[in-house]
Amino acid sequence: MNALTSIKSLLMLIILFLSTLFCSSQNRLIQVDTIPYEVYPQVIDSKPNLPSPFISPNGKEYVIAVTNEKKYAIIQVTLSNEYEICPQLIVDTADFPHLVQTGLHSEERLNHINTITGRSLERISELGRPNGLSQEGFLADDENIISVIKGDNRIVSKLGLTHPQLAKPLFHVLNMMDIDLFLNRWNMAKHQWENILYFYYNTHKVFVEAGDTKGGQESIFDDNIEGVFYIKLWREFDTNEINYLKQHYGYLSKDEFSDFISKLSVINTGEMEPQYIMRYGFYEGHTFWRTDPIAISFIFSLKSLPEIDRLFEGNLHKIISEHYTE
């Protein structure tokens, strides 16, 4: 009985820590004193004079979105394990205690683990490669699960962010989808989410396309996560950003430059990837479904483009393109 009590106490401390982490450490998440507008599913005709995202006095988080009827919606997107679409506050405490404590991995710990969720690293890597559990794969052919987790942990650390911070905006998107599924605002005939065109996040518009598939994608971990949805997220470069890239990366060929821009500004993801980031600090390897931490930082304006480039010492093209091999 004492052991059970201790476990419960530990879990409560973890939940408390995560709640504090989510509410206080997200870059530029702004507290407002009041919401002088009706919230979704009500919509308004003009853009509300509020930041996006923001936290209300009762601790709820909101994002301002634009519907396909060109109306503005203030949508509640607070992270929770209660959403139908997926649980959002679960971290792999058994395998990654340092991740729970700090939001980042201990590389020393990563050097000594042999399993994740009770499944061997070799088996996870085997299932994750192209034509394993999926045609596109969760890892590139020359990558393995630990090389990818280590590589992205170093990227996130250099960005001055944490894995929960980077998972959070993706969960915000999922929570907007979840609300529209509940409200039956989903085109079931086309299997597409057509109600929201874009939303505001920090200083930019983020565009979104999403849909559901007929079959489910099995997880490479023994965690009961399944994938049903696909999401495309992107944001447009402003003139200063394009000029910055041309000035600093003008030596790239036309095709290389186009690919570089795409890697920075477009993410193809689903409900599996933010859960992977939150639980394991895993963004997937260099495949179609990679949810790159640098791209998340850029798309959701967690860092400016010059700031990101400076952090990686002007080697951003190389950093975002190279596979994680050991």
- Beta carbons of 37 and 172 less than 8 angstroms apart: no
CA 157 to CA 149: how far, in whole Å? 12
Residue pointed to by tokens 């200063």: 240
> Residue 98 pLDDT > 80, yes or no?
yes
> Residue 285 pLDDT > 80, yes or no?
yes
CA 50 to CA 215: how far, in whole Å? 39
- Beta carbons of 192 and 210 less than 8 angstroms apart: yes
pTM of the model: 0.90
CA 231 to CA 277: how far, in whole Å? 16
CA 98 to CA 82: how far, in whole Å? 25
Q: Give the pLDDT confidence of 19-51 residue by residue, as tens digits.
A: 444 434 444 567 777 888 999 999 999 999 999
> Which amino acid appears at position 49 of this protein?
N
* Contact residues for 128 (Cβ-Cβ < 8 A; gap 6+): 137, 138, 139, 145, 220, 285
Mean pLDDT of 236-249: 98
> Residue 5 pLDDT > 80, yes or no?
no
> Residue 216 phi/psi, 5° resolution?
-105, 145
**Which residues face 65 on adjacent strands?**
73, 199
Higher local confidence (pLDDT), 137 or 326: 137
Q: Which of 16-25, 168-177, 205-214 has the lowest mean pLDDT?
A: 16-25
* pLDDT score at 29: 61
Q: Which of 4-8, 81-85, 203-207 has the lowest mean pLDDT?
A: 4-8
* Contact residues for 112 (Cβ-Cβ < 8 A; gap 6+): none
Mean pLDDT of 6-22: 44
- Beta carbons of 308 and 123 less than 8 angstroms apart: no
In the chain, pLDDT over 70 holds for what percent of residues? Answer: 91
Which contacts of 132-141 are long-range, i.e. CB under 8 A and separated by 24 or more positions? Answer: 132/220, 133/217, 133/218, 133/219, 133/220, 134/217, 134/289, 136/287, 136/288, 136/289, 137/285, 137/287, 138/220, 138/284, 138/285, 138/287, 138/289, 139/284, 139/285, 139/287, 140/285, 140/286, 140/287, 140/323
